Amino acid sequence: MYQELDINPKVIALVKEKEKELGSIFQKIDDEEARNTLKVLSAFHKHQINEVHFHSTTGYGYNDIGRDTIEKVFADILGSEDALVRSQFISGTHALTVALFSYLRPNDIMLSITGTPYDTLHEVIGIQENNSSLASFGVQYEQIDLVNDDFDYENIQKYLTEHKVKLIEIQRSKGYSTRKSITIDKVKKVVEEIRKVDAEVIIMVDNCYCEFVESTTPIEVGCDVMVGSLIKNLGGGIAPNGAYIAGRHDLIELAGERLTCPGEGREVGPTLGMNKQILQGLFFAPSVVASSLKTAVLTSKVLEDLGYEVEPKYNECRADIVQNIIFHDREGLIKYCQGIQMASPIDSNAIPYPWDMPGYSDPVIMAAGCFTMGSSIELSCDGPLREPYVAYQQGGLTYSYGKLGVMKAITEVLKVKNENDL
């Protein structure tokens, strides 16, 4: 039955063998899914979601009961006082930008304590020059790198003692780096250390790729605000776009006025028929995240046994849905991504090649044959063309589809290598 995808029979046999070794890990993922499913269903019941919440608004979007109720549901699920959930957010990067411009003023200091943020924020912050950056408005940026994949607690406390920082940014997922993603227990510990020095600094978390991977959210361990995308975890592969900002009520109000305009804020913003898709995507999200995690675990196990470096290892604690495969080889990275594309439901006939994407300093190859353009909760794989040539794989709406994609990608890599490597 795998002939149509031209999957190497040896790869099929290898995957079936490794699946048998992953039963206990898959069970832990299922247990986490059950907890998050109950959390979602409880929020739906608490706010009495019904058909009226599917109705659409146009124009200004005044009195959109569905939109306003969705934000209450998200707030409950994320453990926050309030949430801003809007289709007017183009991406996670856009939501992060809105948040940063909401909270920072000229001469304020923004401090990243997870090193350099993801590439698309470089021009937002001013790390790379842009006339519309935070730096162009007089916002100062500093960063403290991680040490051995953990926070540099001593230097963080030292910096906070010597400077008045307005906002601390934590990026949980690794971005295009080789460091580990940040688990919630590490977030909890660093928040406790920060509060010993500064009780007022805004702690903002880029939570993209991390929702429903662990039961506890950054807000629940003391962070002030968190940001994520609906074409990642919480959209469940159904939300066609959008993002959220969740946290303290006063910070959400500020974000609403930055997204629209002062004086109107959250009162405007038409939903244009998206309410049902956002709710349905959130409903499916625990299951879809679980499928993505199983796909990642399988990928890690099989590729490591084939001799590749992987991060995280198949049996490590995970903070997000991203799986790294370190090829140390340009051709291997390209072939793997092309294999993912070949097994995609959409644009399977397209062949991805590296290109100069806006917001990135290196050519990037992106495989994403998705129902929603750029969705990374659907099976996708990408990476910059630079050493050590890392593939960043994420997603899988179902485990079965994810497994097919991985098998096809491995098959394509082996075509340019010695198949006896199996």
For the segment 77-85, the average pLDDT, to the nearest whole number, is: 98
The separation between CA 26 and the C-alpha centre of its own chain, rounded to angstroms, equals: 21
pLDDT digits over 381-401, tens only? 999 999 999 999 999 999 999
**Is pLDDT of 421 > 80?**
no
Q: Residue 367: which H helix or E strand, with range?
A: strand 364-367
d(CA 280, CA 103): 31
Q: Are 394 and 376 within 8 A, CB to CB? A: yes
d(CA 44, CA 57): 21
**Is pLDDT of 420 > 80?**
no
Between 4 and 126, where is the model more confident?
A: 126
Between 12 and 2, where is the model more confident?
A: 12
| Residue among 292, 320, 298, 286 nearest 377 (CA) | 292
Q: What is the mean pLDDT of the chain?
A: 96
**Is pLDDT of 75 > 90?**
yes
pLDDT of residue 362: 87
**Is pLDDT of 422 > 70?**
no
d(CA 95, CA 255): 9
pLDDT of residue 87: 97
**Is pLDDT of 257 > 90?**
yes
Q: Give me the residue label for tokens 């006063």.
A: 250
**Is pLDDT of 419 > 70?**
no
Q: Is 273 left (phi over 0), alpha (psi -120 to 50) or beta?
A: left
Band (pLDDT 50/70/90 cuts) for residue 3 is confident
pLDDT of residue 11: 95
Band (pLDDT 50/70/90 cuts) for residue 359 is confident
d(CA 387, CA 161): 37
Band (pLDDT 50/70/90 cuts) for residue 358 is confident
**Is pLDDT of 176 > 90?**
no
Q: Tell me the torsion sign for CA atoms 231, 235, 240, 243.
A: negative
| Residue among 34, 43, 69 nearest 54 (CA) | 69
pLDDT digits over 218-242, tens only? 999 999 999 999 999 999 999 999 9
- Domain boundaries, given as residue ranges, for the chain: 3-37+283-421, 55-273
Fold of 55-273: Aspartate Aminotransferase; domain 2 (3.40.640)
| Residue among 304, 263, 264 nearest 62 (CA) | 264
Phi then psi for 339, rounded to 5 degrees?
A: -65, -40
Band (pLDDT 50/70/90 cuts) for residue 2 is confident
Cα angle: 320, vertex 324, 325; to 5 degrees: 160
For the segment 270-293, the average pLDDT, to the nearest whole number, is: 98
Counting other chains too, the contacts that 41-45 makes at CB distance below 8 Å and 24 or more residues apart are 42/76, 43/73, 43/76, 43/77, 44/73, 44/279, 44/283
For the segment 64-73, the average pLDDT, to the nearest whole number, is: 98
Superfamily of domain 3-37+283-421: Methioning gamme-lyase, C-terminal domain (3.90.1150.60)
Band (pLDDT 50/70/90 cuts) for residue 418 is low
**Is pLDDT of 19 > 80?**
yes
Query: Taking the model in full, what pTM does it have?
Result: 0.95
pLDDT of residue 416: 84
Bridge-based pairing state of the strands 225-229 and 82-86 = unpaired
Q: What is the DSSP letter of 243?
A: E
Band (pLDDT 50/70/90 cuts) for residue 175 is confident
Bridge-based pairing state of the strands 364-367 and 323-326 = unpaired
d(CA 419, CA 422): 6
